[in-house]
Amino acid sequence: MGRSYSLKDLEMWEDRISEKVHEFGLDCYPQEFEICDHVQMLSMMTYHGMPSHYPHWSFGKSFERTKTLYDYGVQGIPYEMVINSDPCIAGLMRDNSLCLQILTMAHVYGHNDFFKNNFTFHHTQADMVIARFKSHADRIRGYVEDPSIGQEAVERILDAAHALSFQCRRNQAIKRRSPEDQLRNVLREKEEGGEQLEDADFHRFPLEPEENLLIFIRDNNPRLTEWEKDILTIVHEEALYFQPQMETKIINEGWACYWHREIMNSLDLPSDIHMEFLVRHNQVVRPIPGDLNPYNIGLTLWDRIEELQLGEARNYNEDRQEIDVRKTLFEIREVDRDTSFIRRFMDRETMEKLDLFEAAPEHQDWVIKKVSDEDNWKPIRDLLVESVGLGGIPNIAIIDCDGDGARTLKLQHTFDGRELEATYAEKTLEHVYTLWGRRVMLETTLHDNNTLYSYNEEGLVVTPDVVNAIYPAF
Amino acid sequence: MGAVFRPYSPSDSLQSDRTSGDRQRYRERLREVLKENIADVVSEQSIIGRDGDNIVKVPIRGIKEYRFVYGNNSPRVAQGDGDSEAGQKVGKVQQDGKAGEGEAGNEPGEDYYETDVTLDELIEIMFEDLELPDLESKPLRAIEAEYTHKRSGTKRVGIRAHLDKKRTAKSRLKRRFVQQKIEQNAQADVDPPEEEEEEKRFPFNQRDFRYHRHKPDIRYESNAVVLCIMDTSGSMNVMKKYLARSFFFLLYQFVRLKYQQTELVFIAHDTQAKEVNEDDFFHKGESGGTMISSGYQKALDIIHDRFHPSLWNVYAFHCSDGDNFSEDVPKTIELAKKLCESCNLFGYGEIKPTGGVSWGTPMLKHFDVLEADNFTTLGITAKADVWPKFKAFLSRDRERFSESTMGFNLWN
């Protein structure tokens, strides 16, 4: 793409973009752009965009992987790398064309607005993110360099903590009851039900299932040293920071696409840039058969919302957005996340347009079971709702931490029709054991059988009925 | 309107970027994995008999990051290309063993890496956890292995490149100190020192210069010879020969790694022995009966002629399927004894793939009578045996070595 450009050009275009951003009423954090080359971009991606991040070999692995894919041309580098922080920081790759830079800047402003206003991000304290990650990095480096701790020991805890990092509460906004309140709650329920109180009801801790695995282990394993506890805290805090981004992948990308299109179309771009923009835009938001493209689904949904408001689809190149539509859209971007966004706005027409289907494995192939027709669109939508956001992470909670009076930790997987991957579950249980130090158990359902995994220093034990189901006796 | 642009700075890119530490650590972890699987790698045909700078592709399983994840046997929602119908096939189910797609850590699936390593690197990894048996010093070895120069003190004349800056600066300081003392004494007699007087320049003088003195540094290393003796009789079929070769290959690589100069001698024998070159040894087939003693005699002759044990570390290893003529056994034992006397280490490997038919008298039993602490026998039955047996072979030598040093200490 022939045009060469300088930093001055970028600043000029940024000026015009941010003018539009204000005009459209987007509400953003101050924005910072970092010009980088592709290796820097890859490293930024490796550390989720954080300017400083604690070291761990898994980042080396992730870097090698993306770099290999990039070097062999299997995968390009995404145009955008933007982090939820105040000021909002984004990377611009210097080898990109001017058009791509303008497009990226416009797109980044969309994310910026979303980060600042969507409710799922409220707890992330965007103004302190950079400092917090820096402090995490400093602390972990300190432990690695401490001769009495060292890299191996730190890695052992980090490896285990990473395995459990996203096993946390689904909704950070809901306040959790304290143990005393939980006790009172049980008492009240029993009383209201007129039931007799039994000793066994209280021989359990926690009384209510606890989903924050790392934090629970940190607070209830007396054998952990201070630095080990600190590492668990760090990993948990990072997971909480990234959780909202997982929860809003579709709505957030859709929002950014919606606004980059709006901004780009109102900028009076020179025709060559405009042509390139159309090509790039269509590449980004095209459906990927056999997969789900969040850009495609998100943008389609936002368009649908607007279409329902206006009564007809508008020509995005020509017509500008109307103010009253904007208000509704702004409201939705504040209060929805992927699950609610899809549940509220995915209708049959949109499902058909996106050609969403339900597929199930049959021998070696994925085979379509249902398509979005009159009878099936709702179940498919519900399945989609279940699998987006944090739906891809199995729901596992601690139901007891003193089983058999021997500090056995009991975990329970809430079975929703999807089975755990058995090998991964076994290996992850080993990680739980590393952190807990006593026997750990996991209840789940495999092959329609209640299954109980138990792991301690002697190794893994699985309840016999599931073993029989997997390896039937002749 | 306010956005801050941070211009490009190449400082932390190019060669080293911020991921380099983590990548280094990841590679260390991969190396550990490779080490664990080394037995499989070694028994792969492809590496046997190759040169050191050859690149071998080694498949290693990536290090997984386990989490609680859903298996891929539950239904999922996806997009079609516009006209999907029930019953249509849309892609393959991910199998273990293929690289997993999707978000990192979210999808199970085996990551297989094919790493390119040069054979030398691989061998280095293999031997990292093994110590060299015994570099028994041979009193008369005195073979110049390396000739370099070593710094030793200073001198006052020399070429500029050898200038010892630190010493030169020191001697200037010394000279200045003396000079000042003298001046002070002189001034104290005349009048009080004037403060405004600027400090005088005090340049280097020819007398300050110091140069490194160099002295030749000759290092002596002991040299080693590996005698590979292989039975190439008719009963040694392809599989047996392959196992034998794998073993020799390891032995050779190992010795080569530890000694500056390693000579190799290949002796192939059936009823008669002859010295052959590497290629013939590894690739040519022979046939005929078996007279192990012929191979030993040849080895002894060669040692006697070219590699006197006082100058050379001699490692000899013999591979056979053990089907020796029974008349030959006493002679074999006798010669084996002699070999033990002139070798650092002498080993006999009996190759008996399981399921194979054997007749005659397995030598393994006969060798029981041979009592020399540098003699080892081992039996190899399968590919997977090669590496563990090899390790056992070397560790035995190590034990012997540590015993002898301990004895030495006590004796002192």
Q: What is the pLDDT of residues A20-66, one digit of tens each?
A: 999 999 999 999 999 888 888 888 889 998 889 999 999 988 888 88
Question: Environment class of residue A180 by beta-carbon count within 10 Å: exposed (0-12), middle (13-18) or buried (19+)?
Answer: exposed
pLDDT at B221: 62
Question: Is-contact B303 B309, C-beta < 8 A?
Answer: yes
pLDDT at B108: 40
A296 in a structural domain: yes
Shortest Cα distance, chain B CAs vs residue A193, angstroms: 37
* B257 vs A350, residue with greater confidence: A350
Rounded to whole angstroms, the Cα distance separating B79 from A258 reads 20
B132 in a structural domain: no
Which of B202, B217, B232 marks a domain boundary?
B217
Question: Is-contact B328 B295, C-beta < 8 A?
Answer: no
A456 in a structural domain: yes
- Average the pLDDT over B155-176 and give the result: 90
Inter-chain CB proximity B70 and A64 less than 8 Å: no
Question: Is-contact A436 A400, C-beta < 8 A?
Answer: no
Is the pLDDT at B360 greater than 60, yes or no?
no
DSSP states of A154-174 as a string?
A: HHHHHHHHHHHTT-S-S-TTS
In a shared domain, residues B195 and B227? no
Nearest CA in chain B to A447: B73
In a shared domain, residues B230 and B290? yes
In a shared domain, residues B312 and B204? no
Query: Could you give the number of structural domains in chain B?
Result: 3
**Residues of chain A neighbouring B82 (CB-CB closer than 8 A):** 355
**Residues of chain A neighbouring B29 (CB-CB closer than 8 A):** 57
B361 in a structural domain: yes
In a shared domain, residues B363 and B277? yes
* A205 vs A453, residue with greater confidence: A453
- In tens, the pLDDT along A99-139 reads 999 999 999 999 999 999 999 999 899 999 999 999 999 99
Inter-chain CB proximity A371 and B77 less than 8 Å: no
Strand partners, A31: A88
In a shared domain, residues B253 and B164? no
Q: How confident is the model at residue A311 (pLDDT cuts 50, 70, 90)?
A: confident
In a shared domain, residues A79 and A25? yes
In a shared domain, residues B291 and B168? no
**Residues of chain B neighbouring A287 (CB-CB closer than 8 A):** 79-81
Selected for mutation to probe chain A from B9, B13, B14, B19 (highest A CB count within 10 Å) is B19
pLDDT at B38: 65
Nearest CA in chain A to B113: A65
Is the pLDDT at A259 greater than 80, yes or no?
yes
Inter-chain CB proximity A287 and B76 less than 8 Å: no
Q: How confident is the model at residue A474 (pLDDT cuts 50, 70, 90)?
A: low
In a shared domain, residues A287 and A376? no
Q: How confident is the model at residue B406 (pLDDT cuts 50, 70, 90)?
A: very low
In a shared domain, residues B193 and B229? no
pLDDT at B54: 61
A468 contacts: CB under 8 Å, gap ≥ 6: none
**Residues of chain A neighbouring B75 (CB-CB closer than 8 A):** 358-360, 369, 383
In a shared domain, residues A311 and A404? no
A184 in a structural domain: no
What is the extent of the structural domain holding B191?
148-217
In a shared domain, residues B336 and B275? yes
Determine which of A275-279, A360-364, B20-24 has the lowest per-residue pLDDT on average: A360-364
* A149 vs B57, residue with greater confidence: A149
Inter-chain CB proximity B79 and A356 less than 8 Å: yes
- In tens, the pLDDT along B183-223 reads 888 887 666 555 555 667 888 888 889 999 988 777 666 67
In a shared domain, residues B262 and B359? yes
Closest-CA residue to A130 (of A81, A87, A166): A87
Nearest CA in chain B to A62: B104
What is the extent of the structural domain holding A87?
7-118+248-345
Q: How confident is the model at residue B106 (pLDDT cuts 50, 70, 90)?
A: very low
Which of B170, B190, B217 marks a domain boundary?
B217
B267 backbone dihedrals φ, ψ, rounded to 5°: -120, 120
* B320 vs A358, residue with greater confidence: A358
Question: Is-contact B252 B289, C-beta < 8 A?
Answer: no
**Six-digit token pair at B282?**
């590894």
Rounded to whole angstroms, the Cα distance separating A257 from A261 reads 6
In a shared domain, residues A404 and A329? no
In a shared domain, residues A363 and A294? no
CA angle B111, B116, B119 (to 5 degrees): 130
Question: Is-contact B351 B243, C-beta < 8 A?
Answer: yes
In a shared domain, residues A305 and A443? no
**Summary count for chain A: helices (H), strands (E):** 18, 10
Q: Does the N-terminal peptide bond of residue A87 adopt cis geometry, omega within 30 degrees of 0?
A: yes
In a shared domain, residues B241 and B270? yes
ipTM score for this prediction: 0.90
